[in-house]
Amino acid sequence: MNPDSSSITSLSHTGEERSLPDAGKIEARPAQTSEKPANFANASLFPSRGKEDMVATVVLAVAAFAIVAFLVSMLGLLQVHGPR
């Protein structure tokens, strides 16, 4: 390939160098009118899951309680002394 070449090239799956096709000109035009969708209030990308969120909250609460209980038991273990 010539470093002075201004054309864009690509390699095919066989390793052969080929020129890319012309992309052409793309014209973007603004819309004539703008209206909100009929169900705009429910157009959230992340809809509420309701009951699934409650289950996840309960699972996380139980896990947090288990971690706190474990840490409290480790602190209690540190308080144990051998015979003197």
- Asked whether residue 1 carries a pLDDT value surpassing 70, the answer given is no
Domain contains 11? no
Q: What would the mean pLDDT of 60-71 be, rounded to a whole number?
A: 98
Residue type, 34: S
Q: What is the mean pLDDT of residues 36-50?
A: 68
- pTM > 0.85: yes or no: no
Domain count, the chain: 1
Residue 59: the pLDDT is 93
pLDDT digits (tens, 9 = 90+) for 11-29: 767 777 877 777 788 888 8
Do the domain assignments include residue 56? yes
**Within-domain flag for 20:** no
Residue 78 lies in a domain: yes
DSSP bridge partners of 17: 11
Please indicate, yes or no, if residue 77 is contained in any of the structural domains: yes
Could you tell me which residues come within 8 angstroms of residue 1 by beta carbon, excluding any fewer than 6 positions away? 9, 17
Measured between alpha carbons, how far is 52 from 58 in angstroms, rounded to an integer? 10
Domain span including residue 80:
49-84
Q: What tokens were used for 75?
A: 């602190």
With respect to residue 24, please indicate whether it lies within any of the assigned structural domains.
no
